[in-house]
Structure 1
Amino acid sequence: MAAPACGHADQPSLQGQCLLDQELYSEALEAFTQAAELQPHCRVFRQRSMVCLAALGEFPEFLQMLNRELEEDVRNPDAYVLRAFFYNRFEQLALCHQDIQRALKLEPQHRAAQALWHRLLRQGQEAKSQAVLKALCGDLHGALYKISLAIESDPLAAEFFTLRGTLLRLLKNFSAASKDLARARELSTVGSPEAREAQRQLVLTYNDCAVHCYALGRLDEAVKLLGEALRDERMEQGIYANRGECFFRLGELAYALADYQQALELSPGNRVVQGRIAAVLHEKGRQDLAARRFLEAEACFSMAIEHDPREALYYLDRAMAKWCLGKVESAREDVALSLWLNPTDSKILSLARHLFPRKTVQAILRSETGRLAQQTLDKILQCPPRLPSDDA
């Protein structure tokens, strides 16, 4: 390390240098301390005292003295590099990185700072590789520790934050995962593979956190999180379906239906989503039925059947709406349809007794109405349900 000249060296300083050359560090430290007391403005004695302290392993005292040096001269790149080496030795990598950057800002071509910086970059990549191996072996906590070391070594590597964010998501620490993934996105070039991967993982984090909130009954929070996910990713049908489920449980049927229809548009023929659309339409029909809006109820039940023709309850409730409208024969057909699908359901049997007095289930199914219902059902089940756009 370069040091300013101090003029004529006194006897303690000469003695100290001789002892230092002989690696007698305790005696040299005492001599340099005396020399510094005699010439307090001569920094070279304090610097040689630090060398002795480091050699003796007296690191707290060494760091304390070095910090004082930097307080007096904040533009000394050598001192920053010396402290960076100290931090690196004791795996305080974030502090090491800070001091390297300070030194390079003062002297961009500082060889020792550059060498230590490249060493940190290598350490970061090695730690990341170890993190990946641990993650593949199922040791997520071990992987998290390693990738955190990598980030301390190189806090500007977007890929490190993406990996740690992914691990935190898998460990259900969604808040920390979101912060890391947002940081990865900030560090990445717009449109780059790194940016896209960070974005994808962030969307998955919002979705997973929403699912967690849904399980805890925090539906409003889940809706908000899924909205955040959809702001960044509008082509993922699963997110629309999940938000639709939240709206459904909140009783927001119009919003639920809109989300389910968007999910089906992105995944045509998805039977699960079709079933959810049918469930929303059925619930809307039941509300209309309870409010004596029988025509609206019949229409909702019919659309529910178009999306899920295998659910006997939908035919039963449509039969009830038709019966209330005075469409008795059509109501009987729906009851027969529901009996073909579920001949033991108590609700179906109850309505069947009213519409087919003194007839057994077997007699109803063998009747003309029953045979027509069977033919209708066979035809319906052979045709795929209509898409939401057909309902307009």
Structure 2
Amino acid sequence: MDTPEQINDQTHEDGQGVFSTAVSEENLERARRRSTYVDFSDRLVAVRDHRYRRPKLDPDIIIKSKAAEHLIKGKEAVEKFQYEKAVLCFSKAIYLQPEQTELYVSLGEAYIQLCDFQSAADSYNRASFLDPGAFDARLSFIYYMQAQCLFDRGLFLEALHMFGKAADLKPEAAGAFRIRSLACLTAAGQHGDCLKELDRVISEGPSAELYVFRARVHKAMNQTACCLRDVRSALELDPECREARAMQQHLMEASEDNRQQAVIRMLSGHLQEALCLINVALESNPENGQLYLFRGTLYRRLKEFISAIEDLVQAAELCEPKEEERKESSSVLKEVQLQCFSRGLYDEALLLLNKAIKEDRNMGGLYLNRGDCFFRQADWCYALLDYQQAEEMLSPNEPALRLRLAVIHSTLGSFCFHDWYFQDAADMFSLAIMYNPTASPYYEYRSKALRRIQNLKGAREDLIRLLILDPDNEEIPPMMMNLFPGSTAAQVLSSTKGQLLRDELTETIRVWESSSDPEKSLEESLSSLTVSGESPEGEALSLSEAAQELSLCVSRKDLQNAARALLQQVAAEPQVEPVSCNFIVLFN
């Protein structure tokens, strides 16, 4: 018989066989414990998530809110005249919302209050980029204010650029901006450009104001005649123009002041100053015949007879000639033919001389005088031809002619020397020495030219002649080192060759001087060789004056051609043994 325990075990085994999914007590207990742990963990996670959970916000709303806050603060700062703070607030707002046009406008207005027109223009340019054409008028005003500030600071070209920008943005006010631009050009000293623009504007539509403006520009350029012309044009368009009337009155007063000053200068003997003053007076009042009469009198006292005649004729045309004017004109006409040559009127003298030579070709003095005119005008070739023609007609020992030929040949030689035509230079100096053997620089430069062509014998002989004529010449020491190394000047002069050259040079100079006294004969020749055959009142051309007037103002090419032509002519003639001489016109 089975016991109860056996029956329970059997039942339990049968139950397992029937309910295969049954869970044991042990597993159930384990499941209960696990469920309790999971519920507790879920509650912990839930508490943690609730603790760190915040409400969800929109970033755009935050940025707009902050930008609006900065904008409000900026406007409040503007109301309190705190423009620096306003600029800072508006700038922060623009950083947050760069697409808002209002912010740039507010920032630009704040910059205007601070007189920072460049920053204001930048702000409005950004606003115009966002809203094209809406702020052109305001931007034009900013450019105008900026240009005016630059003008006041003396930055005229920068101001000119700003006025141009303002005119582009506001075409209806371009005329006013154009006048401002012209003022900038005038203040910048660009009067030429200003006049060109004024000429164009006046050609489009002349007005009295524009003529007055151009008159002022001409006055700034010291163009008094043009200034007076524009003043008259302005008065023709508007006879009641006050500015033109004031400028005309000012010119008349300036003319009278200059005339009075000229009278004072003339009475004190300062004729040139008086002439300058009366010229200025005539520019301001060119229709005053008395001024021309006064200037004609000055020209007569200055021996400028042609100009005197022209002014007297002009005075007669402008006003009724008086007895004084007739006498003055008659006196001038009597003197002009005698004085124009001796007083430097070379063009007029050439006209008279050409006419005289055409009537009488056998007077050598006429050729000499005409050569002097060419000489004073630096026409060396024509002067040389006339001197050679005079040489054929006058005495061969005429000192006035010989000194002129010496100076011209020395000048040709100097050009040849500087252009490295040393043989031609030596020949030119030899011809100069032939006409004047007493000039020591001729020997110096011929010696240098001969040394360059390796003619050491001739170079040494010319150096000895230079030692005899001018022992204190500064060029002697370096030349001694090259031509007589190791020897002193005393040793060279005491040598046999030195004694021989001294005797030769002394005899040559004695023969040259025995013909006549060069300086005296030169003055007498010039005083006798006049166009009219009468003695002039002025001084004659001396040797020193001739040397001084012989300025090297002709091209080297022309002088080289003249030198070669002269050398060819000399080569065809019998050669004369040249004697060394000094170079009057120094070539540095």
Instruction: Give the TM interval when normalised to the shorter protein.
Output: 0.3 to 0.5
Relative contact order, higher structure (CA 8 A, sep 6+): 2
* Larger-Rg structure: 2
TM-score (structure 2 length as normaliser):
0.32
TM-score (structure 1 length as normaliser):
0.47
